[in-house]
Structure 1
Amino acid sequence: MKKHLIGFLGLLCLTSSCGVLGKKGSTGVTSGNTYTHTEAKPYDKIISKEAVSSKGLVDVHLVEDKYYFEIPDSLLQREMLVVSRFIKTPAGATTYGGEEIGEKTIWFEKGPSNKIFLRIQTLVSVASEEDAISRAVTSSNTTPILEAFDIKAINEKNNAYVIDVTDFINSENPLLSLTEKQKKNFNLTTLEKDKSFIRAINTYPINTEIKTVKTYKARISEDKNKNLPAAILSGMVTVEINNSIVLLPKIPMKKRYYDPRVGYFASSYWEYGDDQQRADRNTYIHRWRLEPKEEDIAKWERGEPAEPKKPIVFYIDPATPAKWRPYLIQGINDWQQAFEQAGFKNAIIGKEWPVDNDSMSLEDARFSVLRYFASPAKNAYGPNIVDPRSGEILESHIGWYHNVMNLLHNWYMVQAGAVDPRARKMEFEEELMGQLIRFVASHEVGHTLGLRHNMGASYATPVEKLRDSAWLEKRGHTSSIMDYARFNYVAQPEDSVSVNGLMPRIGDYDKWAIRWGYSLFEGHKSVGEEKEILSKWATDSIAANPRLWFGGEGRNFDPRAQSEDLGNNAIIAGFYGIKNLQRIVPQLIQWTSKNESDDYDNLEEVYDAVLRQYNKYISHALKNIGGLYVTPKTVGDEGDVYRPVPKEMQKEALAFVDTYVFHEPSWLLYGDILNKIEAPLSKKDLSQTMEGVMTTLLGGSRLSRMEFIADRYQYEEPYTPEEFVEEVDKLVWKELDFNAPVNAYRRSLQKAYVANMLTLYNPKKPQGGFIDALLAKLSEGRTLHTDVRAIALDNLITLESRLRASIPFTRDTMTRIHLQFLYKQIEDAIGEDKFPKKIYSPLDNKMSIQQDDKGNF
């Protein structure tokens, strides 16, 4: 195997947290250095008989109040990962004990003048040492020396160097302390050394654990919400930190190249070689190292599941309420079925934390733990710690917030309450809440295994199958638990769908993705050979089974991959979802009442959840308009990567918006509810929803994209921006055709239409406040060299003429006032002066039309 030199920072991470990786640079030092030479003393003069010592990755000695590391020569130049976590955080912080502070790759090396250097890795680019270009990589990628330690003594018996680490550990440094961003979040300034100390240092065969207490001065912010109680009371904030120094494997795990058709987190580096004509960007996935036990290799070769040498073990934080622990463990163990398809049995195990084992620490980077946070936040997350050289996942600390149960309750009541009677109360039965917890645990564990969100998974299920009980029992309502598919809101009460058809579970995609990422191959195949096998496997598998499609995080313009959606048609799915919302709204007062002495806080919270769900259905439909299907492919795949959403689908989406947004959703304005939770301001909330939809519909980004798509895909019947604007115009201004009264909701709709059209025409003069100004600025750049502004101007000129003609015949006073206001807005904006300065209504018994001094009417 060729050796590689690794150089400067170029890491690409498809994940929420990125590591850094690299190799050592040159340790040669020229003459004339400025380091002060210090002489090492005899070993027993430093490490006396009174020393409290422990052996491990580095031997640790405590002599009086000094901590010494004894670093063997064999450990020099070896990469180590330093993972820092909070042990305890101050009250009022949004960060909790067990959460990560950061991670860095380090190594120790022998320096001049009797020094040991500590370097921090800053890389990544590689070149074979056999290639001449490796010199260029090396010479342009020097890693920084973070600290220089005097060698206090040398242990001749094991050729180890003794250094004093006390002051370094107690200091403010980028390796063992808070980041600048975290200090800013806590309003911290300087470290108070006299109030900071080392609590303990424990060392083990492959890791050393440092526990410190650090106290900082804190400033008081003008924003009272950002001030921690400790800072207000004392001007000081104290945190407890654990730093795990973990030895990375001497031989990194074999990489597996990333394929955009399979959703894994990944890192990358630039690779240089003498035979290249351009540098290569090599991207590799994050995964655990799973290898069959020696005694199971024969089984594995016969195609039978084998037990791994080192299974993936997750421990449950002992702070977790006992009744939820079995469900969390189930959520972890549910992934075993996926690993069996990859050739492993008992590959992943959930366990309770052994509370009587003093040799184990929750912050220890050797152990993966589900940490339970006493927090009002409604969240959970699943990170992973990665060997940056290979993508090997070393451990994970899942974050679980207590109040995620509140989020699960509201989701399930709103999305499944029409179908599942158990969802119709404020406190769910233990079994139901347990199953909800299990599903979230499985989702977060999926992230820790390397899997990204797959927001396109739910698209693999035809909408009609979401009402088919037998189909759902077999396959579930989405092909991946890594989707934000939540619960089956399409199923109707008459469909008799069981809980198996309502909740997500590990599906076809999840099992296939684990198999793709974790299966091993017979023989000593290179990373490149495996890449070719896996690429063909992805091509053949996805072609044969569309349920294996990876849709990504939904950050592009593809309506198939959206958060919180279901099925292959957002319009039909939204129709069924709204039908269920219309069923549950009248029941909310009863469902949210626990006792006669309760107030209406529960009702308000769940009603707000209903409004959010309604908004989701609208946004799911909207994304089809100007949408673009994006399907990653290789040269070996058939078809195009980019395809426009069919015109008919876009028109259906607009019709959906007309039905449920352009016409007031009065079913949401349920008087019995609104009169109990607030003055009827929800009408205003619905107007804000409508205004947001109008801004999205008539945004410069969407219309410019529609113009681009229409121009590129002329072989298909495009939905042009001019046709789209014309159809929106007809829906918004229906009343003008009949001189009909315009109610308050529709007046708001029409005002929003005019404001957005004026902003499209002239983005430099936004029609509202800060947000409108920001949107206008974005629109200005997106529409600068397009026909969108011209379309807007044409629409405004036509609308002005229609308003001028309609106003004299409008009998409803408020409608007339409203139309006159809009007419004046348009006239002022486009600079027209050929129309009457004032328009009189027939109700005034005066002339309806005046002639101006230029003879125009």
Structure 2
Amino acid sequence: MPNVLQGCMSRSLTSLFALFLCAPGVIASAATAASGSSPLPTVSKATAGMKHMPGLISLDWDAHNGKVYFEIPMDGNAARTRSPQYIYTHSTPWSVGTSHLGGYGLDRGQISEGAIVRFERTGPKVLLVEPNLDFRSSSSSAAEQAAVKESFPVSVLAGFKVAAENADGTVLVDATPYFLSDVHHIAEALAQGHQGIYHVDLNRSTILPGETKAFPDNSVVEAELTFVEGASELGPTGNIVSEVTPNPRAVTIRERQMFVRLPPPGYVPRRFSPNAGYFDFSYRDYDAPLGERMAQQFITRHRLIKKDPHCVTDCQAVTPLHYYVDRGAPEPIRQALVEGASWWDQAFQAAGWAPGTFKVSVLPKGADPMDVRYNIIQWVNRFTRGWSYGASVVDPRTGEILKGNVTLGGGRGRQDYLIAEALLAPYKNGKPPADEAHDAALQMVLARLRQLAAHETGHTLGLAHNFAASSYPHAPEQTVSVMDYPAPHVTVGADGIPDVKHAYPVGIGIWDKVAIDYGYREFDKDGQRCEDAAALRKILHDAQSRGLIFITDADARPEGSAHPDAHLWDNGTDAATELDRVLTVREAAMKRFGVDAIREGTPLARLEDLLVPLYLFHRYQTVAAAKEIGGLDYRYNVRGDGQMLPKMVAPAEQEHALKSVLKTLSPAMLTLPEPLLKVLPPRPPGLHRTMEDFPSRTGVTFDPLGAAESAADLTLALLFNPERDNRLVQYHAEDAAEPSLQSVIEATLDSTAIPAGTTGLEVEVKHAVDHQIVEALLRLAANPGDSAETAAIARYELTKLEKQLTSQPGSDVEDQALDAMEAEEIHAFFENPAKYVPAPVVQAPPGMPIGD
């Protein structure tokens, strides 16, 4: 006591802080703390009358006050105590039902990646801390480890006040405010696209005691949160929120937070290879030897251990991988999802595992799909179509996948059925389709959903996309990889009717077996698990020797990427040849398209919705063919792996590709038949035009020129992409046999020629496409991403075109008027290029389905 008083007397008596510190209650508290006895009640006394939920972190529910308390076990010295580490994740059991907010959207069952966290107590405070695992030390020296650890920050996720404590170090905290906070960042997603500024209204939010549970290996708290617009708004609530919520000013969803016991030791990380087809997990090792990379890269994968470590083939797993399909998926879709995801067992068998190592079944009744014990294939319904995706809860220390979480969009099957209706026009005389036609459409849908289930499940096994798979020589019925995006392989029968019976192949792919072999084959030495780098290299070398390659997302972008084999939603080993074939399928289907594509009693304007995917049936194969132009064939080379070095696509292949791509600008191809236009009325009440439909400059009526401009702009964006055109200039300089940018521009300008004497709508389509070509050239000439040579060539070609338009005007008044307008646009550009504002691109609707 004298020491405390002496400290007080040394400060100015006019200090309010000093007066407060010397107050009897404060002195008593300090003395009590110094004597080692706690003024806080025990946990059992503080929680008397609450509902107790024992578990990994025991919970107590105070129903009277609507509060949830955490009983956190602590260990350490008196100055600072810590809890064990946990894996922490959060999810949305109920959500917003749209894929147009927050990246992939805000879906039912969306889950975050795992994070390592621990609780730390200092005095009356407990902090929830996420350590920094991105920067590590492999040294055994404590000082060197501290030098790394102390060089980078940690993240404190939350703070709590100790409400009670036990002699063993267990503390009780009121965790309610944290569990009523927006840890999943829903408010940020709602604010995207000027949806309004949202925040959680605590008066309309609550903990859900029925969904708040504690188990031996995990503890779960679920809250119902209501997001409201703030007092200061950016603007009116956006359409997306309005479309999915009864009242867009009160968006109520659920967020769940979960703390999970760390997995037991025994998992062996596997080194990452850029050619193996896996997502990487990495961190920096600051004590790696000089000359070696600091970045330590491993793959993400599930733990799979052999019962008999000496086993080589047909090995039994200690714990097989088991996935469960959401009971919310309707039949026959549910069974198709089970069948498709089950294909992965074929790959595990090829990697030395016994049949049944990978199995799939329907989620048991009453089971919670968010439970970390269940790898789940979840079915979600949305207001609009959107991506399906595979996510995982991963141990960030090792890359071990703890829970696979697949999300499949329910609109996928309906869009595929719509495509089948457009292709088959099955409603003769308005009647329901004959059994054969209906069965063909249904089987096409189910075949695609099997593929989709396998694809997204592959992501949760750690696999990345392989967009070069479809270029490997194969029969249409053979799967190269379910990790590619497949386009429907449609043929045309002798009767001129499209055939969709074999649109998608069945079974796991030959590349998928290679990837699983690399990631999940287990090795041992003297009965002990180990890694065999030589054996892993041999797996990849053998695959490369067979011509199998792996090229993933960044190299498969639709417009400017260079790889000639890496594409989305394509088929065929030769992209240009396949485009020629696809255009014949499109032509056959367009000839038959009309009222027979819809049922009796359906508004005729509904034909417009079916027309979009058919009219744009060629779009993704066009992307594939265009990427051969200015293309570079390459691999992810590693020194000593023997793979081919980069090489430019052969000139003859590029010329073929250009010829095929320019067919998509043909006015004859883009002109819709008059009989179809005569039966397309304006849309009636209750059937509004959406982003899935073509734009219209004619008001309520269908605009065939708008459709043609949309399709043309898709092709022109490919041909006049600055990255591609810069490569054309460079490659032509290296090898004069390679096509030049100048030749591509001139061939594009010539591509819209029509026979003399052509009349009617085709002439107007030609005019529309010609104008889009001029606009595309102006955008290229003004693009800051151009090289100097690209900009110079684009401007030179525009100068030539301006002279041609003014010196050789068209034969009639309309031609002359259009020529004059385009010449004026070009002249205005050259008057002041710096102030040129490009005309907006005509945005095309999605066309072929998204959702992979």
Task: State the TM-score bracket (shorter-chain normalisation).
Answer: 0.7 to 0.9
CA 233–424 in structure 1, closer or farther in 2 if over 3 Å, else same = same
Identity of aligned residues (%): 20
**Is the 1:695–1:756 Cα contact (8 Å) retained in structure 2?**
yes
CA 453–527 in structure 1, closer or farther in 2 if over 3 Å, else same = farther
1:8 corresponds to which residue? none
Normalised TM-score (structure 2): 0.78
CA 79–682 in structure 1, closer or farther in 2 if over 3 Å, else same = farther
Displacement of 1:104: 5.3
Deviations 1:215-261 (A, max 9, x none): 34335742541444898859433222221211222537321122111
CA distance in 2, matches of 1:796, 1:44: 80
CA distance in 2, matches of 1:354, 1:663: 56
CA 592–148 in structure 1, closer or farther in 2 if over 3 Å, else same = same
Matches within 5 A, 1:113-512: 113=123, 115-131=125-141, 133-156=144-167, 159-172=168-181, 174=183, 178-182=185-189, 184=191, 187=196, 189-200=198-209, 201-219=212-230, 221-228=235-242, 233=247, 235-251=249-265, 253-273=267-287, 275-277=289-291, 279-293=293-307, 297=308, 301-345=310-354, 346-355=356-365, 357=366, 360-379=367-386, 380-412=388-420, 433-461=445-473, 465-466=475-476, 472=477, 476=478, 478-489=479-490, 499=501, 502-503=504-505, 505-512=507-514
Deviations 1:293-343 (A, max 9, x none): 3xxx06xx3423223222222223232224432222112222111111122
SS in 2 for 1:398: strand
Tell whether 2:563 aligns with 1:563. Answer: no
**Is the 1:625–1:650 Cα contact (8 Å) retained in structure 2?**
yes
CA distance in 2, matches of 1:422, 1:646: 48
Query: What is the one-letter code of the residue matched to 1:88?
Result: W
Deviations 1:368-425 (A, max 9, x none): 222222334334322222111111111133222322211221344567889xx98985
CA distance in 2, matches of 1:193, 1:306: 54
Tell whether 2:704 aligns with 1:682. Answer: yes
Tell whether 2:549 aligns with 1:573. Answer: no
CA distance in 2, matches of 1:274, 1:568: 44
Deviations 1:168-220 (A, max 9, x none): 4454364xx64552353574644333333222231111100112222343357
Displacement of 1:459: 0.4
CA 570–790 in structure 1, closer or farther in 2 if over 3 Å, else same = same
CA distance in 2, matches of 1:826, 1:433: 48
Tell whether 2:635 aligns with 1:594. Answer: no
Pick the aligned partner of 2:93 from 58, 81, 87.
87
2:521 corresponds to which residue? 519
SS in 1 for 2:208: strand
CA distance in 1, matches of 2:518, 2:68: 47
1:636 corresponds to which residue? 640
Pick the aligned partner of 1:669 from 669, 672, 681.
672
Query: What is the one-letter code of the residue matched to 2:323?
Result: F
CA distance in 2, matches of 1:183, 1:680: 33
CA 497–812 in structure 1, closer or farther in 2 if over 3 Å, else same = closer
CA distance in 2, matches of 1:210, 1:823: 67
Pick the aligned partner of 1:624 from 606, 624, 628.
628
1:582 corresponds to which residue? 587
Displacement of 1:137: 0.9
CA distance in 1, matches of 2:667, 2:248: 56
Query: What is the one-letter code of the residue matched to 1:791?
Result: I
Displacement of 1:501: 6.8
CA distance in 1, matches of 2:752, 2:679: 33
2:772 corresponds to which residue? 752
Displacement of 1:818: 3.7
Displacement of 1:566: 0.7
**Is the 1:487–1:503 Cα contact (8 Å) retained in structure 2?**
no
Displacement of 1:658: 3.3
Deviates more, 1:215-224 or 1:256-265: 215-224
CA distance in 1, matches of 2:590, 2:754: 30
CA distance in 2, matches of 1:182, 1:694: 33
CA 540–552 in structure 1, closer or farther in 2 if over 3 Å, else same = farther
Unaligned runs of 5+ in 2: 1-29, 76-80, 427-432, 682-700, 833-852
Query: What is the one-letter code of the residue matched to 2:380?
Result: F
CA 552–754 in structure 1, closer or farther in 2 if over 3 Å, else same = closer
**Is the 2:565–2:624 Cα contact (8 Å) retained in structure 1?**
no
CA 829–399 in structure 1, closer or farther in 2 if over 3 Å, else same = closer
1:836 corresponds to which residue? none
CA 182–366 in structure 1, closer or farther in 2 if over 3 Å, else same = farther
**Is the 2:90–2:112 Cα contact (8 Å) retained in structure 1?**
yes
CA 180–248 in structure 1, closer or farther in 2 if over 3 Å, else same = farther
Matches within 5 A, 1:733-748: 743-748=763-768
CA 388–417 in structure 1, closer or farther in 2 if over 3 Å, else same = farther
SS in 1 for 2:599: coil
Displacement of 1:623: 1.9
CA 524–682 in structure 1, closer or farther in 2 if over 3 Å, else same = farther
Query: What is the one-letter code of the residue matched to 1:324?
Result: I
Query: What is the one-letter code of the residue matched to 2:336?
Result: Y
Deviates more, 1:409-418 or 1:273-282: 409-418
1:3 corresponds to which residue? none
2:10 corresponds to which residue? none
CA distance in 2, matches of 1:40, 1:183: 45
**Is the 1:118–1:147 Cα contact (8 Å) retained in structure 2?**
yes
CA distance in 2, matches of 1:371, 1:637: 40
Query: What is the one-letter code of the residue matched to 1:209?
Result: V
**Is the 2:626–2:661 Cα contact (8 Å) retained in structure 1?**
yes
**Is the 1:426–1:594 Cα contact (8 Å) retained in structure 2?**
no
Query: What is the one-letter code of the residue matched to 2:732?
Result: A
**Is the 1:244–1:364 Cα contact (8 Å) retained in structure 2?**
no
Displacement of 1:290: 0.8
**Is the 2:220–2:256 Cα contact (8 Å) retained in structure 1?**
yes
CA 310–139 in structure 1, closer or farther in 2 if over 3 Å, else same = same
CA 695–124 in structure 1, closer or farther in 2 if over 3 Å, else same = closer
* Length, aligned pairs only: 745
Displacement of 1:644: 1.4
SS in 2 for 1:669: coil
Displacement of 1:430: 5.6
**Is the 2:88–2:117 Cα contact (8 Å) retained in structure 1?**
no
**Is the 1:191–1:214 Cα contact (8 Å) retained in structure 2?**
yes
Displacement of 1:119: 0.6
Query: What is the one-letter code of the residue matched to 1:616?
Result: Y
CA 414–557 in structure 1, closer or farther in 2 if over 3 Å, else same = farther
**Is the 1:56–1:205 Cα contact (8 Å) retained in structure 2?**
yes
Matches within 5 A, 1:718-729: 718-729=738-749
Normalised TM-score (structure 1): 0.78
CA distance in 1, matches of 2:394, 2:43: 39
Deviations 1:15-56 (A, max 9, x none): xxxxxxxxxxxxxxxxxx9xx999354536625664532322
Displacement of 1:58: 1.8
CA distance in 2, matches of 1:527, 1:641: 36
